[in-house]
Structure formats: structure tokens, C-alpha cells
Amino acid sequence: MSQSLYNTIFTRRAVRNYDRTSLDENTLNDIYTFLQNIRQLPGQQADFEILPGHEVKNSIAPHYLIAYCESNSSAHANVGFFFQHADLYLQSIGLGSLWVGATEPKNPKENYCIAIAFGKTDVPARTSVADFSRLPMKDISNEDNSIAAAARLAPSAANFQPWKFQFGEDKVEIKYFGRGPFKALPKLKLMNKLDVGIAAYHMALAIKHEGKDITSVVPISQGKEFKIEITYH
């Protein structure tokens, strides 16, 4: 499964067109069970549910993963880390998926965070890294390596890519670096922290693909600065 998820980093596409037919109950149960077994970041525990499209505002898909979390940087980064694992899983089993910020359940619980739309689609997977629109590696990382290359392809709100990667000895920091209008608005800045979590998951998956053991993945808030530090050996 880990290899399949890693491969999906390079073929993942943002899907906006779906077959509105509902998935069968066994498939939905398998997805729910998979999510239950995803390890979240230390000290964090986001809640989630799967809702049918008709229970979500401005629905474009037959199903939605819905995340709930506290209103702070680490909690949002955890949702990014947790739900990007789910996002890659959905695409690895042949479904389409899309992070959706401009929606919410029609009857949301407290602490609604974000959603991922998903379902069957005929939108093809990407066939080349050249299909991605991303910032040059020199603008986001102090090293150009396979781990940074995987993280560079992480999706982000409005494709602002609000991160910088700092590699050291047996560790890497994914630092929040605001770009675009999101950096000026408190609520949208939280979405940027979620993006940092998404990039961190890609990086963690790539580190494992390199045959290294991860010793910790820790979100760190220091005043206005935010980062996720991954250590490995």
C-alpha cells in the first residue's frame, strides 16, 4: 500500500467532474476503515465522517470526507497530514478526489474544518510531472532531492504552495511561508497551515520510500512562525 500511495503522488489530479452514482456500501466501509487506521500527528485527533453529496452545500460529487478540528495551526496541519493520506488512498484505488474549501455540510457539527469530494470519474490520471504547475525547486527548498521533489507536488489552496523546505542532518523542516492573499487573512492563514500538513505527508511518504525510518513528525508553533519537523535515520 505504501508503494501505491507514493506512486500516486506523481499521478494525482484535482478532479472536479464525477459520476454522481453512489459507491457501493462495501467500498464506503473499506474507505471508512482505512481512515480509522491512519496515524495522526502527535497530540492531535481530528474527527471525520463520510457524507453523501446531497448533505453538502454546493455539492459536485457523490461523497465527501468531512474533517473537524480545533481552530489552531497544529490542528489544521494535522488535518492536512491526515486527509492527504486519505486523498492519495482514494486516487490509488481508482477514484477521483478534490480538496474543497468553498463548501460545508448542510448541518455541520462544531469545529468543521474542510472537506474532500470523491467518487467515480473518467478524468485521467496525470502521466508526467510536467503536468503539474509548481514553483521551481530553488524557490522552496535548500536541497533538490527526491524527498523535496515529492513534497513539491503537494496540492495547496489556490496553488499558492505556502512552504519552504529546510534540510539538515537526518531531519527536514516544512516551514509555513505565506504567499498570495491567504497570508493576510486569519481564517485563510489556517488553511495555509493545513497545506503545510499536506506537504509534510508527501515528504514523510517519500522518506519511507527512500528506506529511512521516521522517528518523529512534530508540528511546532513559535510566535508567528509555524513548521512541521520530521526526523529520520
53 with 65: CB under 8 angstroms? no
Paired with 119 in beta bridges are 96
Rounded percentage of the chain residues whose pLDDT exceeds 70:
97
C-alpha cell read off for 13: 489530479
Q: Which CATH class is domain 129-232?
A: alpha beta
Can you name the CATH fold of 2-119?
NADH Oxidase (3.40.109)
Helices 2-9 & 186-209 angle (0-180, nearest 10): 120
Question: Does pLDDT of 180 surpass 90?
Answer: no
DSSP string, 159-228: G---EEEEEETTEEEEEE---SGGGGSHHHHHHHHHHHHHHHHHHHHHHHHTTPPEEEEEEEEETTEEEE
3-state secondary structure of 155: coil
pLDDT in tens, 155-179: 999 999 999 999 999 999 999 998 8
Residue 1 is predicted with a pLDDT of: 74
| Region at 26 (left for phi over 0; alpha for psi -120 to 50; beta for the rest) | alpha
Sign of CA dihedral 89, 95, 99, 100: negative
99 with 217: CB under 8 angstroms? no
Domains 2-119 and 129-232 share a fold: yes
Domain residue spans of the chain? 2-119, 129-232
pLDDT in tens, 128-156: 999 999 999 999 999 999 999 999 999 99
The rounded distance, in Å, linking the Cα atoms of 124 and 91 is 11
